[in-house]
A and B are shown apart, each in its own frame.
Chain A
Amino acid sequence: MNDKTLHEVASTMIKKSVTRVAPDVLYLLKRAYENERSPVARKILEAMISNSYAAQKKSVPLCQSPGYPVIYVKIGAVKIETNIQKVFQKAIVEATREGLLRPSMVHPITRRNPGDNSGIGIPEVEVELVPGEADYSEVVISFKGCGAELPSALKVFTPAEVGREGVGLKRFILETVARADGIPCPPMGIGVGIGGQMHTAAKLSRKAISTRLWTDVNPDVGLARLEEELLRSINSLGIGPAGLGGDTTALTVKVEIAYTHTAICPVAVNFHCWAVRRITTRFLPDGSILFVEDEYAGKTT
């Protein structure tokens, strides 16, 4: 895997990801549309579904705001010996110049906008080394909307505050969602990180909602049950698509955990808008490339 190959893959990933909603999310939107009882909510969901088809057909941005890019890399047996951040940064700047991405990255204090989505830390890259665990390597690019970021929250609980069966954590999550109201462009996806230290919970919450297919089931039975329970409770709040009321407030809840210290329980709640722009690329040992979401789309259409 050299710079040139990865650059080509990066450019393809950027274009594909921002010109459609991820197929697993499209499936959930369609299912939500069928089950939604509120006529206004159905109209909004219908517009979101049409919008995805329109964007994909014309290769234009799904949403006018490209969001913040994070790249998750899992390195298994297939070597990626190249500076991933530099390659993706170049591809992002090029995509911005072509008009595919609006220039949204600014200096955090001065607010100066370089005009091309370049800047310190952009894109953010997280690397996981799993040499013995996978015979492939994987790169996920996730553009996540930032209006949705405003109500995201983090709290470090004491063991007593966690409560029996995590009732204190569940209450915090529900209240954070209620307070978020329509700001995260519902129907949202909610990532929850529990454990580690403060920074771990935050990272886990973003990874949980950015890398998993929204249709998947948590392999941990206890967490799967928690995800389902939270999803039901959140939808019972009735915030609805675009915050206009309805049955569909969230399409999924994803919880990732890490063991933590006996004195604390950090919890992070991370909001993802409906416009999921994610591509998962798997580099297989035979040198071929697989776009995981396309595989999913193939199986469900």
Chain B
Amino acid sequence: MIAEYELVTPLSDDDVKKLKVRDIVYINGIIYTARDLAHIRIKDYLEEGKELPVDFRGAVIFHAGPAVRKRNGEWEITGIGPTTSYRMEPFSDIIFSKLGVKALIGKGRMGEKTLENLKRYGGVFLIAPPGCSAIIVESVEEVLSSFWLDLGVPEAIWVLKVRRFGPLIVAIDSHGNSIFNEVEENVMKALNEIRFAMKG
């Protein structure tokens, strides 16, 4: 029986600890976008002791970079969707331990490092339906601000006010469970069965 939850940011330990793999989540409140270059800069700033533009405690980070346009002086998102999260796997330690992020939203698998950190610090990895830009854009109520635009529009940190952002699937929970490990096991098993059947 899978459960559906509406969460409000900033997320608490309790918020994420109650979630289990395969649960459905909708986020309300604030979501931060960050991709490759923003993560690199966050790491650099932490090493240099520089202050970050955002307090990420309890935050939700979305691995995405928007297409935007300005309308009446305000930024508007015209397209956005998850990018392959695995590229951000190397930053998993600082994201959870140093920044206090509670949830990541992305596409595809994450690795063992993320699983360990989600377990140790309390957090979840959520999958957004891939290629669903139109419904994701609908859930963005407002672009509150942006930081590090010098990295380029898609690579900057965008601060988005969202309502019923989802459906998001809990792919890795804070208890060491990963949907990816389960699927991989099943796929290997099925492939071996097919190989065996083909021999005969």
A residues sitting closer than 8 Å to B (CB atoms) are: 39-40, 43-44, 46-48, 50-52, 54-55, 58, 60-65, 99, 102, 145, 147, 167, 170-171, 174-175, 178, 181-183, 185, 233, 236-245, 273-275
Contacts and interface: CB of A to CB of B under 8 A. Distances in A.
Contact of A58 (B2, B134, B187): B134
A39 B22 contact: yes
B190 interface: yes
A75 to B, nearest CB: 33
A236 B133 contact: no
A28 B123 CA distance: 36
B171 A64 contact: no
A65 B78 CA distance: 12
B195 A171 contact: yes
A182 B106 CA distance: 13
Interface string B179-193: 110111011101101
Contacts of A51: 129, 131-135
B134 A60 contact: yes
B58 interface: no
Contacts, number: 136
A162 to B, nearest CB: 13
Nearest to B170: A40
Interface in B46-94: 64, 66-67, 69, 78-81, 84
B191 A174 contact: yes
Say whether chain B's binding surface is mostly helix, strand, loop, or mixed: mixed
Contact of A64 (B69, B81, B182, B194): B81
B78 A242 contact: no
Interface residues of B, number: 42
Contacts of B84: 147, 183
Given A64-B131, A181-B187, 14 more contacts: A48-B131, A50-B132, A60-B78, A61-B133, A62-B134, A171-B195, A237-B187, A237-B190, A237-B191, A239-B183, A239-B187, A242-B107, A243-B108, A243-B183
Contact of B198 (A39, A171, A240): A171
A245 B182 contact: yes
A145 B133 CA distance: 14
A147 B187 CA distance: 21
A190 B76 CA distance: 36
**3 residue pairs, one from A and one from B, having the closest CB atoms:** A63-B131, A55-B134, A47-B129
A167 B2 CA distance: 40
